[in-house]
Amino acid sequence: MDTAIPSILLQAVIVPLIGALLCAFLGKYLKRNTGWIAAAATIYSTALLAYVAVQLWTQGGQLVETYTWGTIVFQLDFGFLADGLSIPVALAMSIICTAMTVYSINYMDHRIEHLYGKDKPGTYALYYALFLLFPVGLIGGALSTNTIELFLFLESGLFPFYILMDVFGYKDRHRIAMMSFVWTQIGAAVLLIGAVIAGVKAGSFAITSLSVLSGTDLGLLACGLILVGILMKMGTFGFHVWLPLVHAEHPTSIAAVLATIVGFGTYMIARLLFQNMFASFQLFSLPLMILAVVTMFYGAYLTMGQDDVKRLFACSTIGQTAYSILGLASMNAMGVEGGVFYFISHILGKAILFSVAGILVTQTGTRSIKEMGGLAGKMPLTATLCLLGAMILSAIPPLSGFQAEWILFTGVFMQGLTGTAYMILAILALFATFLTAVYTFWPAIRIFFGPTPAGMEKTKEAPLTMTAPLVALAVISVLIGLFPDIIMHFLTSVF
């Protein structure tokens, strides 16, 4: 397919980077309005990706842009590939980043004032400049054509992540910043080991040449390493201990992006392992499914016990990403489509929920659910958004979560029909989804329903820059839920 705009994919990746530089230099003068530069950059990227998506829809095929990067060790093309898998993922992540930049404008104002007082204009520059590296990393990562490039984009968000946590995080932020860095770095390292083994032995780091090794012993090793690396980044059970802490203590605008980064592993598994190393990957079906089901239950019970509104949604990410893993572990097209779809849906929901947590923290000044109650009357829009987020997560139509979930589970049950163990896992997993409704609606009710405690009577609705982006995300989710073809048209073209 062709587009009228030259280097469109490169632009989509580079523009936020340029925005980051602008923010860095202008942040001092623009102060809180720096956010609008960041928003402009992400909106531009989103618009480009949306344009590519429309073109891809009408013309089919795929769009490849190749730039020669280097001959380090092997020929490395710095390529961008827009196809049915990468475009919806990239677009969704870009939309989340856009929404979160707009959301940040008021939220970070509050946060910075809280931490550093009013007269620290430099902190705005720091925040937005680093924040914009996330869209660069995420969009670039989704469009990458070789593993090293993918790794590069993945890692590009890591350092900003560390600094943002360290500077703007909540309690115990220094230790947790370090912890998150080390954990994700280890995950990335394991991933890189697998990728390099595959790359060196296959003679090329191109993602498509992973298939050379597929099915061999070495392929199994590489596949296993890549998988473990991704699972560490996704915080599945056993590798999850960093996730609740890191997720909860981040500024909420970044926590939403973190959910995206965590879920991005879904895309990587689909792209690297399912598409290109299927013969090796399919051997992991059963262990991966067991792991996913364990993680789902563990995540659910962990989440249910939380009283801290930020930690609550942080813990729920553990179980939610496991859904996607479950879909991928089912080793069939429906499962993978469902897994990727669920990932997209989940990040929409999680962005809403985390931002709601942020709104609650800024408007009420507490994080404890025990101190909240009856806020629906004070902030009806926020309450509605929270319930919509809960609906996305617990798969209640017409929001996107439902369509994603049944497609995912169709895949899982398809695998379930191949053996009793799979069938038991599939049914267990489905009942784990029931717990999602418990841990999303129950807290929502404790926060927003019931009598209002004495201290909360003066709580006001959040400003429009904080709620409007979330409304937009909810609308997108409803649209996807009503017209799943928006996603499925793309996904079915590749799987």
Partner 1 sequence: MQIIDVAPWLCWILPAIGALAALALNKVNRKAMNITVLSTTLLSCIMTLLMVPSLLNNSSIDHALFWFQIAGAQVNAGLLIDALSIIVANVVSFLSLLIMIYSTKYMAEDPSIARFWFFMSLFLSSMLLLVLADNFILMFIGWKLVSLCSFGLIGYYYRDEKEHWIGGPAPFPFQKPSRNGLKALLMTSFGDTALLAGIIILYLYSHTFNFMELIQTAGTWLPAMAATPGILALTCVLLLLGPLAKSAQFPFHEWLPEAMSGPTPVSALIHAATMVKAGVYLIARMLPIFFFAAWVAAPAYPEALTFFIMAGAIGAFTAFLGGTQAMVAKELKKVLAYSTMSAIGYMVLALGISGLSAGSLVAGTSSSIFFLINHGIFKVVLFLCAGVVIHSAGSIYLDHMNLSTKRMRFTLVSMWIGGLALMGVFPLSGFWSKDNVLIACLESGQYAIFAVAMISVVLTAFYVCRMMGLAFHTGTPDGNIHRDEEFRDRKLAEDHAHGEEGHWIEILPYGLLAALTVVIGLVGPLVSEFLSSAFSTYYANMGLEVAAETHTGFLGLSGLGLEVLVAAVSIVMILIGAVPAYFLYIKPTSNPSNLLPQTGIRRTLYNFLWNRWYINAFYNKVFVEPSIWVSKRVQRYIEDPLNQAINGGIPEGFKWLSRGLSRIQTGKLRINMLYLLVTIVIALIVLWLGGFI
Partner 2 sequence: MFTLPFDLLLIFTVASPILGWVSPKQYRAKICGVFAAAALVVVGVALFGLYQDVVANAAVYLPSNALNFATLRVDALSIFMTAIFLGLGFAATIYSIAYVENSGRTPFYFTLILALISGMVGIVFAGDLLALYVFWELMSISSYALVAFFKEEGTPIEAGFKFLIMSAAGSATALFGISLIYGLTGTLNFEGLVAALSGATPNAWIYLAAVFVFVGFGVKTAVFPLHTWLPDAYSAASAPISAILSGIVIGPGVYALAKVFFTAFLPIQTAWTLAFAVLAVVTMLIGNITALRQTDLKRMLAYSSIGQVGYMLIGFAAASQLGLTGTFLQFFNHALMKGCAFLCAGAIIYRLGSRDISGMQGVGRKMPLTAFAFAISVAALVGLPPLCGFPGELTLFSSAVQADLTWLGVALLLNSVISAGFYLRIVYVLVQPVSSPAVEKIKESPLLMLIPILALMVLIILFGVWPDPLVNFAGDAANALISLGGNP
Instruction: Name the site residues for partner 1 (rule: CB under 8 A).
Output: 179, 241-242, 244-245, 298, 301-306, 332-334, 337, 374, 376-377, 391, 394, 396-398, 402-403, 405-407, 409-411, 413-414, 417, 426-427, 430-431, 433-434, 437-438, 441-442, 445, 448-452, 483-485, 488-489, 492, 495
- 319 touches 296 (CB < 8 A): yes
The residues in 364-383 that bind partner 2, with binding defined as CB under 8 A, are none
Q: Kindly calculate the radius of gyration of the chain based on its CA atoms and give it in whole angstroms.
A: 21
Least distance from partner 1 to the Cβ atom of residue 201, Å: 31
Binding to partner 2 by residue 70, rule CB under 8 A?
Answer: yes
Least distance from partner 1 to the Cβ atom of residue 366, Å: 19
Binding to partner 2 by residue 67, rule CB under 8 A?
Answer: no
Binding to partner 2 by residue 21, rule CB under 8 A?
Answer: no
Least distance from partner 2 to the Cβ atom of residue 166, Å: 5
Residues in contact with partner 2, counted by CB under 8 A, come to a total of 34
Least distance from partner 1 to the Cβ atom of residue 159, Å: 20
- 392 touches 404 (CB < 8 A): no
Residue 242, contacted partner among partner 2, partner 1, none, CB below 5-8 A by kind: partner 1
Distance (Å) of CA 9 to CA 12, 48, 67, 86, 261 = 5, 8, 11, 11, 20
Q: Which token pair is 197?
A: 């083994």
- 284 touches 329 (CB < 8 A): yes
Closer residue to partner 2, CB minimum distance, 54 or 200: 200
Binding to partner 2 by residue 196, rule CB under 8 A?
Answer: yes
Q: Per DSSP, which regions of 335-376 are E strands?
A: none
Q: Which token pair is 61?
A: 């095929």
From candidates 54, 73, 241, 417, binder to partner 2 by CB under 8 A: 73
- 298 touches 319 (CB < 8 A): yes
| Measured distance CA(17)–CA(256) in Å, rounded | 20
| Measured distance CA(43)–CA(47) in Å, rounded | 6
Binding to partner 2 by residue 128, rule CB under 8 A?
Answer: no
Residue 391, contacted partner among partner 2, partner 1, none, CB below 5-8 A by kind: partner 1
Binding to partner 2 by residue 26, rule CB under 8 A?
Answer: no
Say if residue 398 is preceded by a cis peptide, omega within 30 of 0: yes
Q: Which token pair is 100?
A: 């979160």
Q: Which token pair is 141?
A: 């990562």
Closer residue to partner 1, CB minimum distance, 35 or 484: 484
Residue 67, contacted partner among partner 1, partner 2, none, CB below 5-8 A by kind: none
The C-alpha angle 477, 481, 484, rounded to 5 degrees, equals 115
Closer residue to partner 1, CB minimum distance, 221 or 414: 414
Residue 449, contacted partner among partner 2, partner 1, none, CB below 5-8 A by kind: partner 1
From candidates 4, 58, 71, 460, binder to partner 2 by CB under 8 A: 71
At 52 the three-state DSSP class reads helix
- 388 touches 348 (CB < 8 A): no
Least distance from partner 1 to the Cβ atom of residue 332, Å: 7
Residue 410, contacted partner among partner 2, partner 1, none, CB below 5-8 A by kind: partner 1
The C-alpha angle 131, 105, 360, rounded to 5 degrees, equals 105
| Measured distance CA(186)–CA(188) in Å, rounded | 5
Closer residue to partner 1, CB minimum distance, 323 or 409: 409
Least distance from partner 1 to the Cβ atom of residue 73, Å: 31
Question: Of 239, 210, 205, nearest to 222 (Cα)?
Answer: 210
Residue 185, contacted partner among partner 1, partner 2, none, CB below 5-8 A by kind: partner 2
Least distance from partner 1 to the Cβ atom of residue 275, Å: 14
- 203 touches 151 (CB < 8 A): no
DSSP character for 69? E
Q: Which token pair is 455?
A: 């201290």
Binding to partner 2 by residue 189, rule CB under 8 A?
Answer: yes
Binding to partner 2 by residue 151, rule CB under 8 A?
Answer: yes
Binding to partner 2 by residue 200, rule CB under 8 A?
Answer: yes
Q: What is the dihedral of CA 73, 77, 80, 83, to 10 degrees?
A: -90
- 320 touches 346 (CB < 8 A): yes
Q: How many DSSP H helices and E strands does the chain contain?
A: 21, 2
Least distance from partner 1 to the Cβ atom of residue 162, Å: 15
DSSP character for 84? T
Binding to partner 2 by residue 155, rule CB under 8 A?
Answer: yes
Least distance from partner 1 to the Cβ atom of residue 338, Å: 9
Residues contributing to the site for partner 2 (CB under 8 A): 69-73, 116, 122, 126, 148, 151-152, 155-156, 158-159, 162-163, 166-167, 174, 177-178, 181-182, 185-186, 189, 192-193, 196-197, 199-201
